[in-house]
Structure 1
């Protein structure tokens, strides 16, 4: 059995600063490849954009494909081409397509999943968006591109600056109220592997920032959730309309309960190195598809 562990050809364009240890970003890939190797599977890292003999592989597992945000249509077409050669793609392409645009947050809300409220916006409808924000009573906002990874292009601003900011945007964005809990309690990431919650992490932003991401100096630590929080995440995961090998559910406490900030089904860092046995869980989830 052969598995391609898909990665990026290069880091996405928004990373314009030096990262001291780029290799460390791919730890999840190495741990998964090692876990598959222990199970007798020949697993190799390949860029999704490689001109590889995909017919020689049984399965392609999406992992560190972060540069897809720079060329989304090409990425989706490449995944279709890989499957057309008889190599299945996991997570499934339908889930990838759905998750590649943050409109999925609206879909989640319609499914009854608690999300941090969102308003879709663009430069051509900025006055209507400003009225909707005022009606909702949001004073401090976060504006993010509908397609993006790693906090790229995400801006925190006062509602009074929204119209001017939207005038400078080049594509659709989402507007959300800022969740103050990010700065003190932090946000939580729950890794769901093979349908089960594997582990949870607490992420806090660096001083003076609001993005709880390690590439911006944020901190990450293991977290033991309360039983009630864990139950909420399990119920949320059960609502997702796809059979998934992995997911990362990023949540923050807002208006008294956990709400989804992001649902990552394409290329999330799962922090497998911070949870013993999680790489093996992912390898077993992958093998279930190889054996069927």
Structure 2
């Protein structure tokens, strides 16, 4: 069995600051490759955008650190479509990936009965409607996000009075999402539940750095393993059961609203899984990969 672990060719363009240890960002990839090799699988890292790759030479391609797709989303989808049309099995599957690339999936989650943080969407050209919707909802503290993005790129925090200025600073036709800011991020933190092979592998608590609101390590946020309460695990299991995909992995990023978990983001394409935080998790991911390829 031969497996390509897909990564980025370079860091995405929004990362304009120096990172002391860039390779540390790819620790999940390294751990998965090692676990696959321990199980007799010929696994290797492959940049998704590399030219001349014969995907028929691989049994499977596991999407992992493909973060620079945000700079070339159309090319990314084109490459994944070629993988899917070959004899190589793409994990996660193409239909799940295509659905997850645009944050309109949050609307679908809500229709499926999955609790989500409320959202209104539109373009800066439609600012009047967005402002009216926020006013009607009664939101005072806000977060504005691009409809397509990774790693907190293009995310801004503002208040209702400042929303118009934020919208004016964006391209008129670029779709944005406006959500109420969840204060729980600053105390309890954002919770991430990592699903591997259809079951909960581990849970994480992410907190932003002082003076920031983005619970992401590249902005100085902290990530620690969390002991998930039984009721929280049951809520996540219910969310997972409503998804219409057979997923190798998923990461539910949630925040507590009115005592219940609500989805901020559902990551199916290139999330950090923090395999270093949970002993045995890389092995579980390798076993789930092998099982899906054998089934295919």
Q: TM-score range by the shorter chain?
A: over 0.9
Question: Does the 8 A contact of 2:35 with 2:283 survive in 1?
Answer: yes
Question: Does the 8 A contact of 2:89 with 2:293 survive in 1?
Answer: no
Asked if 1:45 corresponds to 2:48, the answer is no
> Per-residue displacement from partner, 1:125-178 (whole Å, max 9, x unpaired)?
111111111110000100000100100000000111112221222210100000
* Equivalent residue number for residue 284 of structure 1: 287
| Separation of aligned partners in 1, 2:62 and 2:80 | 11
SS at match of 2:187: coil
SS at match of 1:291: helix
| Separation of aligned partners in 2, 1:225 and 1:291 | 32
> Per-residue displacement from partner, 1:56-92 (whole Å, max 9, x unpaired)?
1111000000001111110000011122232111100
* Equivalent residue number for residue 249 of structure 2: 246
Asked if 1:54 corresponds to 2:84, the answer is no
Q: TM-score, normalised by structure 2?
A: 0.97
| Separation of aligned partners in 1, 2:293 and 2:239 | 27
* Equivalent residue number for residue 122 of structure 2: 121
SS at match of 2:262: strand
Displacement, 1:4? 0.3
* Equivalent residue number for residue 215 of structure 1: 218
| Separation of aligned partners in 2, 1:169 and 1:98 | 24
* Equivalent residue number for residue 9 of structure 1: 9
SS at match of 1:32: helix
| Separation of aligned partners in 2, 1:11 and 1:286 | 25
- Which residues in structure 2 correspond to 1:1-292 (within 5 Å)? 1-51=1-51, 52-170=53-171, 171-292=174-295
| Separation of aligned partners in 2, 1:152 and 1:266 | 16
> Per-residue displacement from partner, 1:213-268 (whole Å, max 9, x unpaired)?
11111111110011111110111111111000000000011222111000000000
SS at match of 2:10: coil
| Separation of aligned partners in 2, 1:177 and 1:97 | 26
SS at match of 1:162: helix
| Separation of aligned partners in 2, 1:56 and 1:75 | 20
SS at match of 1:36: helix
Q: Which runs of 5 or more residues in structure 1 are unaligned?
A: none
Q: Which runs of 5 or more residues in structure 2 are unaligned?
A: none
Q: TM-score, normalised by structure 1?
A: 0.98
SS at match of 1:6: strand
> Per-residue displacement from partner, 1:15-74 (whole Å, max 9, x unpaired)?
000011111100000110011111110000000011212111111000000001111110
Displacement, 1:121? 1.9
SS at match of 1:183: helix
Q: Which moved more, 1:79-88 or 1:124-133?
A: 79-88
| Separation of aligned partners in 1, 2:161 and 2:58 | 53
